[in-house]
């Protein structure tokens, strides 16, 4: 059977492409009903954005999905947040000229217009007098009032939130968001972002406005049992048969259940006409390697020599104790440089400490320090 849909996307996984996360989805829904704001944290490419989009899709609720990627100045941040507010407004009100007048009265400090698809709310700024903090605070409050009047509640998802840190009024904008988040229970904020380290600085630092505002939700890798169901459903669609155990085990061994690599590898495998065997998985993984090699080498080049050596050692021998004598002897380094290197690699999300075992991956042990990217670990082992 020829499958034309992108069942293993490299971007957001939604609907049929989406595998499991039952526990997290239910937690999101409970938190939403209690109006608890959330920050979703994980290393890169574990599936944060997909999860929130999937939950929004399932809840059928008014929502905004704002992406602050490269929003490095006040004007861009304000524009994106106003776009999010426009999104919510357009889902709760029917698009009509009559309502436009009403909406203009509620959002009196803004320019409100009606297009064929949505109400558009824009800032009425005049160069130097533009005040991002005031605009964002006023617009979010107006949205809260509108939601209350219509007895509705909305999800306001802000992704790549760490990028706000570069804007001129970053701290005051976060203060404005905090005020609104504390005053209303009709807007539930969900924050996330791909730079875990920078994101946590905004939520864990006592001096930051959003400190202790949100429930933290840590996302782990999807389990092999859940992937087994998902991949078999996709295999049945494509080859009208389930995957042989050996094939599945080989997929899990290479990808280590990393969502991004799972999709990359399966995307290759699902191009085959016949049900793949373990050898086909080897070939497909090599193909992924060829595609990604340059990017990985560029990533490695950004590291210091000490960090590169440590990463290589960890790819070959994941360890529980980076300061035990055996590991120090293997890497041939002093305890202090190993400590510094490990700290830097953790901050860069190049390595991680395992806090969840999986029966499909017996070699991955609790508390082990491992290279986070399974393809990078493969490259390091290949060239060692």
Q: Which residues bind ligand ATP (CB under 6 A)?
A: 9-10, 12-13, 17-19, 21, 42, 44-50, 194, 259-260, 263
Instruction: Please say which residue, 170 or 266, places its beta carbon nearer to ligand ATP.
Output: 266
What's the token pair of residue 208? 């930051």
| Intra-chain end-to-end CA distance of the chain, in Å | 41
Instruction: Please say which residue, 143 or 257, places its beta carbon nearer to Mg ion.
Output: 257
Contacts with Mg ion: how many residues (CB under 5 A)? 2
For the chain, the 3-state helix, strand and coil shares in percent, each to the nearest 5, are 55, 10, 35
∠ Cα 326 327 330 (to 5°):
90
What's the token pair of residue 332? 């041939």
What's the min distance (Å) between Cβ of 49 and ligand ATP?
Answer: 3
From CA 350, how far away is CA 376, in angstroms rounded? 9
What's the token pair of residue 58? 């399932």
Instruction: Please say which residue, 48 or 333, places its beta carbon nearer to ligand ATP.
Output: 48
Cross-strand pairs, 337: none
What's the min distance (Å) between Cβ of 258 and Mg ion?
Answer: 14
Instruction: Please say which residue, 46 or 327, places its beta carbon nearer to ligand ATP.
Output: 46
Instruction: Please say which residue, 86 or 268, places its beta carbon nearer to ligand ATP.
Output: 268
Strands 154-159 and 38-41: unpaired
Binding site partner of 9, from Mg ion, ligand ATP, none, Cβ cut-off 5-8 A by kind: ligand ATP
Cross-strand pairs, 123: 110
What's the min distance (Å) between Cβ of 227 and ligand ATP?
Answer: 8
What's the min distance (Å) between Cβ of 204 and Mg ion?
Answer: 20
One of 17, 42, 49, 247 touching Mg ion (CB under 5 A): 49
CB atoms within 10 A of CB 249: 17
Binding site partner of 42, from Mg ion, ligand ATP, none, Cβ cut-off 5-8 A by kind: ligand ATP
What's the min distance (Å) between Cβ of 141 and ligand ATP?
Answer: 29
Q: For Mg ion, which residue has the nearest CB?
A: 49
Chain-centre distance for alpha carbon 109: 34
Q: What are phi and psi of 250, to 5 degrees?
A: -70, -40
What's the min distance (Å) between Cβ of 73 and ligand ATP?
Answer: 21
What's the min distance (Å) between Cβ of 35 and Mg ion?
Answer: 24
What's the token pair of residue 286? 């090599």
Q: Which stretch binds Mg ion (CB under 5 A): 49-57, 94-102, 105-113, 282-290?
A: 49-57
Residues 255-314 that bind Mg ion (CB under 5 A): none
Instruction: Please say which residue, 155 or 259, places its beta carbon nearer to ligand ATP.
Output: 259
Q: Side-chain half-sphere of 139: how many Cα atoms within 13 Å?
A: 28
The DSSP element (H or E) to which 215 belongs, if any, is strand 215-218
Binding site partner of 263, from Mg ion, ligand ATP, none, Cβ cut-off 5-8 A by kind: ligand ATP
3-state secondary structure 147-175: HHHCCCCEEEEEECHHHHHHCCCHHHHHH
Q: For ligand ATP, which residue has the nearest CB?
A: 47
Residues 29-48 that bind Mg ion (CB under 5 A): 48
Contact residues for Mg ion, defined by CB under 5 A: 48-49
């Amino acid at each position: 059977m020829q499958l034309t849909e992108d069942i293993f996307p490299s971007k957001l996984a939604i609907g049929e492409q989406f595998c499991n996360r039952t526990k997290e989805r239910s937690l999101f829904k409970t938190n939403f009903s209690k109006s608890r704001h959330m920050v979703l944290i994980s290393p890169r490419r574990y599936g944060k954005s997909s999860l929130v989009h999937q939950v929004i899709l399932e809840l059928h609720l008014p929502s905004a999905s704002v992406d602050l990627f490269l929003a490095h100045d006040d004007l861009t941040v304000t524009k994106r947040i106003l776009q999010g507010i426009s999104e919510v407004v357009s889902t709760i009100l029917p698009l009509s000229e009559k309502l436009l007048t009403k909406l203009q009265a509620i959002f009196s400090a803004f320019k409100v217009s009606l297009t064929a698809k949505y109400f558009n709310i824009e800032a009425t700024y005049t160069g130097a007098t533009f005040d991002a903090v005031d605009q964002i605070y006023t617009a979010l409050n107006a949205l809260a009032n509108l939601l209350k009047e219509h007895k509705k509640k909305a999800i306001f998802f802000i992704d790549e939130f760490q990028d706000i840190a570069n804007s001129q009024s970053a701290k005051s904008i976060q203060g404005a968001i905090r005020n609104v988040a504390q005053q209303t229970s009709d807007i539930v904020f969900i924050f996330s972002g791909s730079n875990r380290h920078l994101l946590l600085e905004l939520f864990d630092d006592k001096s930051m406005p959003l400190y202790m505002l949100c429930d933290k939700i840590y996302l782990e890798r999807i389990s092999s049992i859940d992937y087994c169901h998902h991949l078999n459903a996709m295999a049945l669609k494509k080859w009208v048969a389930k995957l042989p155990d050996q094939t599945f085990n080989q997929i899990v061994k290479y990808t280590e259940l990393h969502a991004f690599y799972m999709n990359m590898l399966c995307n290759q495998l699902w191009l085959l006409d016949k049900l793949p065997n373990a050898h086909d998985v080897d070939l497909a993984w090599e193909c992924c390697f060829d595609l990604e090699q340059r990017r990985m080498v560029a990533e490695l080049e950004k590291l210091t020599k000490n960090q590169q050596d440590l990463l290589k050692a960890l790819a070959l021998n994941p360890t529980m104790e980076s300061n035990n004598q055996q590991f120090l002897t293997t890497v041939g380094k002093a305890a202090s440089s190993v400590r510094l290197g490990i700290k830097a690699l953790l901050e860069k999300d190049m390595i991680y400490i395992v806090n969840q075992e999986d029966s499909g991956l017996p070699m991955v042990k609790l508390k082990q320090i491992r290279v986070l990217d399974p393809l990078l670990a493969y490259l390091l082992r290949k060239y060692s």
